[in-house]
Amino acid sequence: MNILEATKIYKSYGNKFNMQEVLKGLDLTITKGEFVSIMGASGSGKTTLLNVLSSIDKVSNGSIKIQGNEMTRMKEKQLAEFRKNHLGFIFQDYNLLDTLTVKENILLPLSISNTSRKVANQKFEAVANELGIYEIKDKYPNEISGGQKQRTSAARAFIHDPSIIFADEPTGALDSKSASDLLNKLSQLNQKRSATIVMVTHDPVAASYCNRVIFIKDGQIYTQLNKGEESRQTFFKDIMKTQGVLGGVQNEH
């Protein structure tokens, strides 16, 4: 079942005298339970693509459907409601509220819905244990490590069982051990919960945890790789090879 269908997506910035076309009629489908990575050199349009798919930005033209709901026709109020119920977000810079504890940050999506306290606590306990952060639930963001902050951010994205989770360079600010911890947890949640995750990354190691890697070049899909039965190490080599052909920037830090 396709959970996301994007058809003839165009996105331009500027005015008619100075127009920059970033996405150029791109088509994309994502099925339920996929863990998909979007890669491409700096300026290829990968972050713009994530932004329009996740409703952070509007398309200039085209159709985006999530679970059959046409996002591009929704009014702002409808979109906010849809986002609240169906979408989860993990950002590179965590986006945690410093005045709230780990637990309070994770519970935010449920606090704006009609979830009972009992159900909210059950959901919190499950996701916090899955991500290995239950023990730090009463700490504040300034008292925990970058890796723990990002796992808190991931728990917040998963807690309301969204239709799809968008992750923008989630390992960008982490050291290699924290990054692999997070990616292992995301991979486990993807399998255990049949969660659909769409992740933008420049890092072939991060992409190797996914089922499918989509390479963007000049606002279009250049090629795709499917992991299939390959080991993560073999898939990583395939990604590196394709990135080399594409001329991808292998480290944008």
pLDDT digits (tens, 9 = 90+) for 79-110: 999 999 999 999 999 999 999 999 999 999 99
Residue 27 belongs to a domain: no
Q: Which helix (H) or strand (E) holds 241?
A: helix 232-246
Higher pLDDT, 140 or 114: 140
Would you say residue 12 lies in a domain? Answer: no
In order, the DSSP letters of 134-201 are GGGTTS-GGGS-HHHHHHHHHHHHHTT--SEEEEESTTTTS-HHHHHHHHHHHHHHHHHH---EEEE-
Structure confidence at residue 16 as a pLDDT band (50, 70, 90): confident
Which runs of E-coded beta strand occur in the chain? 2-15, 18-31, 35-39, 61-66, 69-70, 87-90, 164-168, 197-200, 212-217, 220-226
Q: The CATH number of the domain where 47 resides is what?
A: 3.40.50.300
Whether 1 maps to a domain, the answer reads no
Q: Which helix (H) or strand (E) holds 120?
A: helix 117-130
pLDDT tops 60 at residue 251: no
User: How confident is the model at residue 137, as a pLDDT?
Assistant: 97
Q: Which pLDDT belongs to residue 17? A: 86
Q: How many domains is the chain built from?
A: 1
Quick check: is 119 in a domain? yes
What is the rounded average pLDDT of the residues 221-239?
97
The whole-number pLDDT of residue 46 equals 94
User: Cα–Cα distances in Å, from 157 out to 85, 95, 197?
Assistant: 11, 11, 10
- Span 23-51, mean pLDDT? 95
Domain-located, residue 115: yes
pLDDT, position 49: 96
**Encoding tokens for residue 152?**
């808190």
- How confident is the model over 3-14, as pLDDT tens digits? 999 999 999 998
The verdict on residue 14 lying in a domain is no
> Which tokens hold the place of 81?
């409601």
User: Taking a C-beta distance cutoff of 8 angstroms, is the pair 53, 26 a contact?
Assistant: no
pLDDT of 39 over the 90 cut? yes
Q: How confident is the model at residue 219 (pLDDT cuts 50, 70, 90)?
A: very high
DSSP assignment letter at 64? E
Domain that holds residue 199: 34-58+75-247
Question: Would 19 be classed as within a structural domain?
Answer: no
- Tell whether 16 is covered by a domain: no
Long-range interactions of 40-43: CB distance < 8 A, separation 24+:
40/215, 40/216, 40/217, 40/222, 40/246, 40/248, 41/217, 41/246, 41/247, 41/248, 41/249, 42/202, 42/249, 42/252
φ, ψ dihedrals at 25, nearest 5° = 75, 40
Tens of pLDDT, residue by residue over 138-161, are 999 999 999 999 999 999 999 999
pLDDT of 128 over the 90 cut: yes
Nearest-angstrom CA–CA distance, 244 and 21 = 25
**Tens digits of per-residue pLDDT, 163-210?**
999 999 999 999 999 999 999 999 999 999 999 999 999 999 999 999
Backbone angles phi, psi at 37, to 5 degrees: -115, 140
pLDDT cut 90: percent of the chain above it? 88
115-127 per-position pLDDT tens digit: 899 999 999 999 9
The answer to whether the beta carbons of residues 31 and 19 sit under 8 Å apart is: no
